[in-house]
Amino acid sequence: MYVVTAHKPTIVTHSLVGHFTAPTDNNLILCKVNRLEVYSISEEGLELVLDVGIFGKISRALLFRNAGDKQDSLFITTEKFTFCVLAYDSEKGEIITKATGDIQESSARDATVGQLAIYDPVHRVIVLHLNQKSLKVIFINENGILDEPINMSIEELIVLDITFLSGYDTPTVAVLYQDTKEERYISAYKISKSQLTATPCSLAFPNVEQSADLLISLPIGGLLVIGEEAVAYYNEGQMISTAMKRTLIKAYGFIDMNNSSGSFRILLGDYAGILQCLVVLHDGKTVKQLQLELIGETSIPSTLSYLENGFTFVGSTSGDSQLIKLEAEKDPETGQLIQIIENFTNLGPIVDFCVVDMDMQGQGQIVTCSGKYKDGSLRVVRNGVGINEIAQIPLPGIKGTWSLSPPKDSKFEKYLAVSFVGETRILAMAGEELEETEIQGFLLDQQTLYCGNVIGNQYIQITMKAVNLIDAVTESKVATWTTPEDSKISVCSANFQQVAIAIKGKELVILEISPKELKQVGKQIMPYDIACINIDPLKNSNDKASLCAVGLWTDISVRILVFPDLLEVRKVEIGGEIIPRSLLFKTFEDITYLFIALGDGHLISYTYDLKSGELENKKKICIGTRPVTLNKFNTTDSSHVFATSDRPVVIHQSASRKLVYANINLKEVNYMCDFDCTSFSSALALATENTLTIGTLEQIQQLHIRTIPLGEVPRRICHNPALESYCLLTLSSEINESGHEVDTSNVKLIDDKTFEVKDNFKLEPREEAWSLCTYKLAGSDLEYFIVGTAFSNPEEQSDPVEGRILLFTVKEEKLRLMLQHKVKGAVYCLKPFKGKILASINSKVQLFKWKEVEGASQLALEAEHSGQVVALYLDTRGDFIVVGDIMRSVKLLIYSSSDSTIKELSKHLDTMWVTGVQILDDDNYLVGHDQGNVFSVAKNSGSVTMEARGLLDDTGKFHVGELINHFEEGSFVMKISGEGPNIPKTMIYGGVNGSLGVIATLEPPTFQYFHKIQQCIAKHTKAIGGFDHAHWRSFVLQKRLIPAFGFIDGDLVESFLELPNEQMDIISKELKIPIEELTKNIEAISKALH
C-alpha cells in the first residue's frame, strides 16, 4: 500500500522566537508534529521563509546560542527518543545539522507526563526529563559542541514540570512532582558536571497548591508556581500569591524580561482561551506583588510567543492558531484588549469525518469533526480554489462577458462588456464603483459574440452579422466586415491582430486587423459544420497566430490548420458522439498544450511539439456534466486556464511541470474574463445565467477549507443524501443551577448545503452519544439516522452498564425519535448490516433485527458474539465483520443467516489498542493503532491447518506518526481516465494532528516499482537532523520498533520531484530509470491521489 499526506499536520505544539536565519532576523519558529515552519517577523506581519519536514515527531524544542555565535541554534527531541541541533546557513540558504544522537533508555520507564526539556544559558547545559526517576543532562562546551548525555538519578517518580533557577553558581533545577498520595511538592537539585550527579538541595517551597502543574523561573531568582486557583512566587523562604478564578493554564509567554523595568509581564492562556497578563512587580532583587489582568479571549492555546510591538502568536492544538495584537485600550465592541490579526487554519484534532461526493464526480468533499471545547467546529475540505467575492450583481440572461482596457486618459480604469440576447451592456469601473455606461462605436442593440482590445489602440466587437473595429480614444467605428445577407456568424475567435469566424456552417473566414482596417486574408471550406475555433498565439499574446484549431460536427474531430494558407496539418479524431465546444492553445513555460472541451463536461489535453507538429500525451478528465468553455487568464505571478462549466476548474502547471486541475468552489460558472484593475487587482468577472460576480482567486491547488464554528465538541458525523442532511453528535458544556459545569450530548440535524442547524435533540442527563450511522429500512423508502449512546456514572470507574440505540427520522426538517432500544453497555459503533443493525456494545458484537409487537416496531437481538475486551470499531463486507478492540487488536467474524449466528473466523494475536478498521477486500484489512501506526492483516484461507486458518497474518506495518481516528473510502481528486497506475482502492484518513492523508492499494508490480524508488531516495538524500528514514517509519509496539514493510512512504517518494537535479541524476542512475520517466510516474501517482 501507498501512504501519502494530502494535508500536512496543522496543530502547533511549540512556538519559539529568536534569531535563527540571520543575526538581524527576528524569527518565529513553529513545530507542527513532524514539520518546522520558520517565519520572518516584520512590520508587514509574518512571512514564511522555511517549511521543512523531519523524520520524527517533535516532542520538545528550544532555542539556544553558543558563546561566539551570532545566530540561535534549535535543539529538538522526538517521540522516538532521538535529538538533533539545527542551525541555518544563510549563505547556502539551508538548514544544517550540527549534532544528532539517540537518548533512548530501553530498560527505563517513560516519564509520566511525557518529555520535558529546559536550557540554562548561563551554565550552557540542557536538562531533559525522559524517564521516571532520572534527568538526562547535556553540557555544551566552550566550542559549542554537545557533550555525551549523562543520566542523573532523582528521587521523584511522577514529575510534572522542571525549570532552572536563576542566580546560582551551579545549574540548579526545580522539580514539581506528585507523590503516591497525589499531593504535590517542589524539590530542587544541583547539577554537578565534575561529579556527574544531581544533588538535592535544601530550598524551601512550602504550601504548594495541590493543583499546581506549571513552573516559571524569573531572571531575578525564585520561581512562579501556577495552579488552578492561584499564582504563587517562591524564593528562599519568601512566598507571595494571588488568587485567580478556577481554571487550567495551558500556556505562558513572557512579554518582557527586563530587570530594570520594575516589572515582568507574562501572558497566561487557559483551557477556555481566556488570556490574562500576570504582572510581577519587583525591585530588581525580589518580587513585591503579583497582579492579574484580563486581556481577552483567543483560541485555546498550546503555546504563546510574544513577537514585538504588541504582536503575539497563539499556537493551538485545539483550534486555529492566531496572530493577535495586544492593545492599550479596550475594543469598544468586544471589551477586550486584543485584536485578532490573522487566523491560521488548524483541522486538528480530527475526531471523525465523512466523505461526500456532492456532485457525483468521484471527488470527495470531506467534512471533519475538528477541534476541542469551545474551538470545536466542522471543517469542509475540498481540493480546489476559493473565491474571495468582491461584488455580486443580479443580471438575468447573461450570454457572455469580456473586459476592455480604456485609453490612458479615460476617467474609467476598466470596462466590462456583458452580452444578452438582443443587446450588449457596458459596465465601467470608476474608483471602487461599477456603473453602467456606453462606448459610442459599440452596437449595443445586438448580442456580442466576442469583444476585446486589439492592435492600434482599438476595440473589436463581433456580433452575429458583423465584425466592428472601434477607435478606443474617439469611440468611433473605423471599420466593419459584414456577413453575406443569407448567413450569420456562428462561432468566432480573435487575438491581438487576427479574427477567425465561421459562417454558413462550414465556411472559415480569417480577418487581419490593422489600424482602422479589417482585411479578409483567408477562407477555407471545412468538410463539416464548424463547432468551435481557436487562434490563440502559442507564445506572445500580442503576436499573430501560426495555427488555427477548428472543431467539427458530424465526424467529431479537431483539425489543425496553418497560416497563411489554412492547410490542414493534423486531424484529431475525438470519437464518440459528443462534439467539441471549445478549443484553446496554451503554453505553460516551455510546454504547449492543445485543450479540447466537449459538450458533456469532459476535457481532453495534448502536448503540442512545436518542431514536429505532433500531438502527444493525450489525457482526458471529467470536469462536469455540461459543455465546457476555455479561457486564459493571469494572476499576479502566473498564467492559467479557466474552464467554465457546472463544476468550474482552473488549470495550471505546477512547479514539477505537471498539469493541475483545481476545482473552483462555485456551483457553476458559464462565462468568465479577466477583470484586473487598480481597485480590484487580479480580479475575475464570473457569470452564471443570472448573476455577475467580481472576485479574486485564493491560492491555486491548496485544499479549500471552510470553517463552521460550533462552540462545542463535535464527536461523530454522517451524511444522508436522500435527506440532504448531515447528522452530527456533539458534546456541549453548560452551567447548571448549582453553578457547576455539566456536559450535554446533542444530536443535530444540519443542512448539507448551507450547514445551517435545522434541529437539535438533547440526550438525557449523563447520556453520552458514541456512535452514528445512516440507515435505510429494507423494503422501505424511509431513511433514518441511528445513534448509539452510553450512560455514565461519575462515581463508578467501570465500563458503562447501560446505553440506548436511538432511531431518528426527519420530518419537516425536524428530528423525530421513532424508536429507542435499551442495551446493557455503551454502543461504541453502529453499522447497517443485511437490512439490520450491527452494534458493538462493551465486549460484545450484537445484531438486531426488526420485529412488530402490537403494531409497533421494535429491535430484537438476533445474534451476538462475545470475547472482546471492548469492541470499539466495526466494518463489514458481505457476511464478514471486522472488529477493532481496545486490547486484543483485530478479529474477523462471520455471520450465518441460516442459523442466525456470528462466529469467529480468525484473529490477530498482538496486544494492541485499535483506533480504526477498514475492510479492503474479502481477505485484507487495514487497521489503525494508538501509537501512531497503521498495519494490514490478511485472512489465512489457504493454510492447511485449522490453527493457521484461525490467525490473521501481518501483511504490512508502518508508522504514520499520527493517531488515526477514522478511515473512509474516497478520493481527493477527480479520476482521470488513462492516466497513472491502476489503483484498486483509496482510503482517506484523518488524525489528531490535523493531517489528512490517503492510503491506496497497489498492484504488486506497481508496489515493487515505487518501493525501489523509496529505498533509493532514502539512501541518497540528506535528512534534516540526521534522522534515519527507516527508524522514523518503524512500527512502534510499546517500546519495540519493528521495521516497516508492506507500505510505501508516498511523502518520501514524491519528495523526488523537489530534489536538486544532481540528486535526481544520482537516483536515476542507480535505479537505471531515466529522470523523465521517474518524474512522469511519480507525478502520475501523486496526481491520482491528492
Average pLDDT for 99-120 = 92
Tell me the angle at which helices 1061-1071 and 1075-1089 cross, rounded to the nearest 10 degrees. Answer: 100
Kindly report, residue by residue over 552-570, the tens digit of the pLDDT: 999 999 999 999 999 999 9
Instruction: Evaluate if pTM is beyond 0.85.
Output: no
Kindly report, residue by residue over 59-73, the tens digit of the pLDDT: 999 999 987 889 999
847 lies in some domain:
no
542 SS3 class = coil
Amino acid making up residue 134: S
If you write DSSP's letter for every residue of 398-467 in order, what string do you get?
Answer: --EEEEEPPPTT-S-SEEEEEEETTEEEEEEEETTEEEEE--TTS-TTS-EEEEEEETTTEEEEEESSEE
- Do 40 and 125 lie in one domain? The reply is no
Q: Which three cell numbers stand for residue 231?
A: 499564582
Q: In the listed set 208, 237, 264, which residue is the last one of a domain according to the structure? A: 208
The predicted pLDDT at position 981 comes to 77
Cβ pair 920, 969 in contact under 8 A: no
Kindly report, residue by residue over 767-782, the tens digit of the pLDDT: 999 999 999 877 777 8
Cβ pair 932, 923 in contact under 8 A: no
Average pLDDT for 785-801 = 84
Q: How far apart are CA 951 and CA 1047, in angstroms?
A: 21
- Do 500 and 523 lie in one domain? The reply is yes
1030 lies in some domain:
yes
Kindly report, residue by residue over 426-461, the tens digit of the pLDDT: 998 877 778 899 999 999 999 999 999 999 999 999
% of the chain residues with pLDDT over 70: 97
Q: How far apart are CA 482 and CA 465, in angstroms?
A: 6
CATH value at residue 1041: 1.10.150.910
Q: Is pLDDT above 70 for 738?
A: no
Q: How far apart are CA 88 and CA 71, in angstroms?
A: 8
Kindly report, residue by residue over 70-104, the tens digit of the pLDDT: 999 999 999 999 999 999 998 888 899 999 999 99
Sheet holding 996-1000, edge to edge: 964-969, 986-991, 996-1000, 2-7, 1048-1049
Q: Which three cell numbers stand for residue 366?
A: 470531506
Measured between alpha carbons, how far apart are the two ends of the chain, in Å?
A: 15
- Do 127 and 76 lie in one domain? The reply is no
Length of the chain: 1090
- Do 604 and 487 lie in one domain? The reply is yes
User: What range defines the domain where residue 511 resides?
Assistant: 395-630
- Do 140 and 40 lie in one domain? The reply is no
603 lies in some domain:
yes
Cell 566552550 belongs to residue: 142
Nearest to 664 by CA among 683, 680, 645, 682: 645
Residue 765, preceding bond cis, omega within 30 degrees? no
856 lies in some domain:
no
The predicted pLDDT at position 455 comes to 95
Number of domains comprising the chain:
4
- Do 416 and 491 lie in one domain? The reply is yes
- Do 69 and 120 lie in one domain? The reply is no
**Which residue blocks in 474-542 are alpha helix, DSSP H?**
none
pLDDT-wise least confident of 204-208, 351-355, 480-484, 527-531: 204-208
The predicted pLDDT at position 975 comes to 62
113 lies in some domain:
yes
- Do 116 and 79 lie in one domain? The reply is no
Q: How far apart are CA 212 and CA 226, in angstroms?
A: 6
The enclosing H or E element of 693 equals strand 691-697
419 lies in some domain:
yes
pLDDT-wise least confident of 197-206, 225-234, 652-661, 865-874: 652-661
Q: Which three cell numbers stand for residue 945?
A: 491447518
Kindly report, residue by residue over 510-523, the tens digit of the pLDDT: 999 999 999 999 99
pLDDT-wise least confident of 329-333, 642-646, 972-976, 1059-1063: 972-976
Amino acid making up residue 321: S
- Do 422 and 457 lie in one domain? The reply is yes
pLDDT-wise least confident of 658-667, 938-947, 956-965: 658-667
- Do 43 and 113 lie in one domain? The reply is no
The enclosing H or E element of 1077 equals helix 1075-1089
The predicted pLDDT at position 372 comes to 94
The predicted pLDDT at position 259 comes to 64
Q: Is pLDDT above 90 for 527?
A: yes
Q: How far apart are CA 682 and CA 795, in angstroms?
A: 62
Q: Is pLDDT above 90 for 1058?
A: no
214 lies in some domain:
no
- Do 615 and 469 lie in one domain? The reply is yes
Q: How far apart are CA 407 and CA 457, in angstroms?
A: 7
Between 975 and 1073, the more confident residue is: 1073
CATH value at residue 599: 2.130.10.10
The predicted pLDDT at position 665 comes to 74
Kindly report, residue by residue over 308-320, the tens digit of the pLDDT: 999 999 999 999 9
Q: How far apart are CA 709 and CA 704, in angstroms?
A: 16
Nearest to 663 by CA among 981, 384, 1081, 1022: 384
The predicted pLDDT at position 659 comes to 81
Average pLDDT for 1028-1055 = 95
Q: What DSSP designation does 1089 have?
A: H
Q: In the listed set 153, 183, 208, which residue is the last one of a domain according to the structure? A: 208
1019 lies in some domain:
yes
- Do 417 and 547 lie in one domain? The reply is yes
Q: Which three cell numbers stand for residue 400?
A: 457572455
Q: What DSSP designation does 250 have?
A: E
Q: In the listed set 69, 102, 135, which residue is the last one of a domain according to the structure? A: 102
Cβ pair 295, 277 in contact under 8 A: yes
The predicted pLDDT at position 703 comes to 75
